[in-house]
């Protein structure tokens, strides 16, 4: 066994509007192909998002065509098997995705959801000597409900044709792998039926590498798609009988520098602090222009408008000769800020409880009823995230308002005043939940 597993190549992305970044993503794809040729890989898996956009332009298609054509010429027996990620799916009016066009030209083999007899999802798969490859394109919210059908169909094929080393390509995010939970994440427990019939679950979607249980593998994107991915492991897998090894190609370097500006009293003092921190940065190779981001955070005690961003960018240009540089200012002198050190080790639920509680207690009118308000806010958030009907959520809110706004004897005899109080509280809570 000797194959490559990659995903999230995002060909066609001109990050920051730069032509050079557009070429970087093609170079990353080419590095995978070159590695596969050099190591005589039997096949290559692309678990979605070969392209960055559904409606790619001609130069982007030519990039994919040129790289895949090179593979076909230099290693004609190395096949590419791919599925469509959310960025690859065709628009309804187009009917065919660009991966289907590459498939029609024989440059890759697109594994599609295809009905064949009793098989509704796994009707289109690949049979090799000792390996069986299945694939499911990005199906979003339908992923969890499809797991048991996928299991049943793979089990049926295994029963009829014998057991082989089984690969399943899918495109979704596994719950618990990123800091901020995202819509459509799949919990590990939902995938457990597949473990009986799948030896290698080849994932794509999240742009950093992770593994789970010795059978789930997500390589991440090779190139950086967002600065939020800075420092995360990523690359592609080289899978052999001995196991899966993450390969990390050399890509454009990134510098992300953070400076706490709390206590800096003037713009001039800020520029001096920036100069000092830049002097301590390691040297940059002149032939690899980096992407640079300077993040200024903390309590800003003078107007943000006094900061000369152009001057700071010139300082970055002199120090790094970057391909692109950005300066971001995160003002955290808000009364609602929670310091990272204060929340380290807390669960998401504990952090939400703390933030909501502190926010509610700032208003003297609601301080005595803070617990009831916070509990209602958390329940409303959970129900909204779960897709509960708006009418039910409004009922919960109304119940809370009625309880809090019930007048003491002789108070708010005019019903209009009571209603006004409820609307005021509703507006406040809506602001907190947005």
Region 379-402: mean pLDDT is: 72
Question: Which residues fall within 8 angstroms of residue 242, CB to CB, at 6 or more apart?
Answer: none
- Alpha-carbon dihedral of residues 383, 385, 388, 392, nearest 10 degrees? 40
Count helices and strands in the chain by DSSP H and E runs: 12, 15
Q: What is the Cα–Cα distance from 371 to 394, expressed in whole angstroms?
A: 19
355: nearest Cα among 422, 423, 297, 433: 433
Q: Per-residue pLDDT for 426 more than 60?
A: no
Q: What are phi and psi of 319, to 5 degrees?
A: -75, -40
List pLDDT tens digits, range 153-181: 999 999 999 999 999 999 999 999 987 77
Give the pLDDT of residue 361: 64
Work out the pLDDT band at 410, boundaries 50, 70, 90. Answer: very low
Q: Provide the mean pLDDT of the chain.
A: 86
Region 284-301: mean pLDDT is: 84
34: nearest Cα among 83, 84, 8, 73: 73
Considering only 142-151, 223-232, 290-299, 363-372, which range has the smallest mean pLDDT?
Answer: 363-372
**Greater pLDDT, 271 or 231:** 271
Structure tokens, 53: 């956009």
Task: Delimit the domains of the chain by residue range.
Answer: 2-247, 254-331, 344-433
381: nearest Cα among 366, 361, 371, 396: 396
**Four-residue CA torsion sign, 52, 54, 58, 63:** positive
Choosing among 1.10.10.410, 3.60.21.10, 1.20.1070.10, 3.40.50.2000, the CATH entry for 2-247 is: 3.60.21.10
- Alpha-carbon dihedral of residues 69, 204, 183, 340, nearest 10 degrees? -120
Residue located via tokens 């002149």: 286
252: nearest Cα among 4, 34, 13, 7: 13
Residue located via tokens 């990123």: 178
- Separation in Å, CA 179 to CA 195, 202, 234, 337, 367: 26, 22, 16, 18, 31
Q: What are phi and psi of 331, to 5 degrees?
A: -75, 120
Give the pLDDT of residue 417: 42
List pLDDT tens digits, range 43-65: 999 999 999 999 999 999 999 99
- Separation in Å, CA 29 to CA 99, 222, 303: 15, 8, 45
CA 177 to chain CA centroid, Å, is: 9
Cβ–Cβ under 8 Å, residues 11 and 57:
no
- Separation in Å, CA 318 to CA 79, 221, 268: 46, 30, 18
- Separation in Å, CA 236 to CA 81, 200, 202: 15, 14, 11
- The secondary structure of 171-232 as a DSSP string is E-PBTTSSSS--TT-B-HHHHHHHHTT-SEEEEESSSS-EEETTTEEE---SS-SSGGGTT-
Helix/strand/coil for 18 = coil
Region 192-200: mean pLDDT is: 97
Q: Among the residues of 218-305, which ranges form H helices?
A: 267-279
């Amino acid at each position: 066994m000797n194959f490559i597993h990659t995903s999230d190549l995002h060909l066609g992305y001109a990050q920051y509007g730069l032509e050079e970044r557009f070429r970087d993503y093609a170079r990353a794809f080419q590095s995978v192909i070159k590695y596969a040729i050099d190591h005589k890989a039997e096949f290559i898996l692309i678990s979605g998002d070969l392209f960055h956009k559904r409606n790619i332009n001609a130069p982007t298609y030519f990039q994919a065509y040129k790289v895949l054509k090179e593979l076909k010429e230099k290693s004609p027996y190395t096949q590419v098997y791919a599925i469509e990620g959310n960025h690859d799916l065709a628009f309804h009016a187009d009917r065919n995705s660009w991966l289907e066009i590459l498939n029609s030209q024989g440059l890759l083999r697109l594994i599609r959801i295809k009905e064949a007899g009793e098989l509704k999802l796994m009707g289109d798969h690949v049979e090799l000597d000792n390996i069986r490859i299945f694939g499911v394109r990005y199906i979003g919210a339908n992923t969890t409900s499809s797991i048991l059908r996928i299991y049943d169909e793979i089990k049926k094929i295994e029963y009829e044709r014998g057991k082989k080393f089984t690969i399943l390509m899918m495109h979704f995010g596994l719950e618990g792998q990123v800091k901020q939970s995202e819509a459509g994440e799949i919990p590990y427990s939902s995938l457990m039926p597949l473990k009986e019939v799948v030896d290698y679950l080849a994932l794509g979607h999240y742009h950093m590498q992770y593994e789970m249980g010795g059978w789930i593998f997500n390589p991440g994107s090779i190139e950086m798609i967002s600065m939020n991915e800075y420092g995360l492991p990523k690359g592609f897998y080289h899978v052999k009988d001995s196991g899966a090894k993450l390969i990390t190609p050399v890509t454009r370097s990134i510098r992300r520098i953070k400076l706490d500006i709390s206590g800096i009293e003037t713009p001039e003092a800020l520029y001096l602090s920036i100069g000092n921190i830049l002097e301590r940065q390691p040297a940059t190779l002149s032939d690899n222009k980096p992407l640079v981001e300077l993040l200024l955070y903390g309590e800003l005690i003078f107007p943000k408008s006094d900061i000369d961003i152009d001057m700071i960018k010139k300082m970055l240009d002199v120090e790094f000769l970057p391909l692109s540089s950005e300066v971001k200012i995160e003002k955290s002198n808000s009364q609602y800020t929670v310091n990272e050190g204060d929340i380290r080790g807390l669960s998401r639920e504990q952090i939400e409880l703390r933030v909501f509680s502190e926010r509610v207690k700032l208003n003297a009118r609601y301080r005595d009823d803070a617990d009831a308000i916070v509990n209602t806010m958390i329940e409303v958030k959970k129900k909204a995230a779960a897709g509960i009907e708006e009418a039910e959520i409004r009922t919960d809110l109304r119940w809370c308002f009625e309880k809090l706004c019930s007048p003491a004897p002789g108070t708010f005899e005019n019903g209009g005043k009571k209603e006004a109080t409820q609307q005021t509280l509703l507006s406040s809570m809506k602001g907190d939940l947005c």
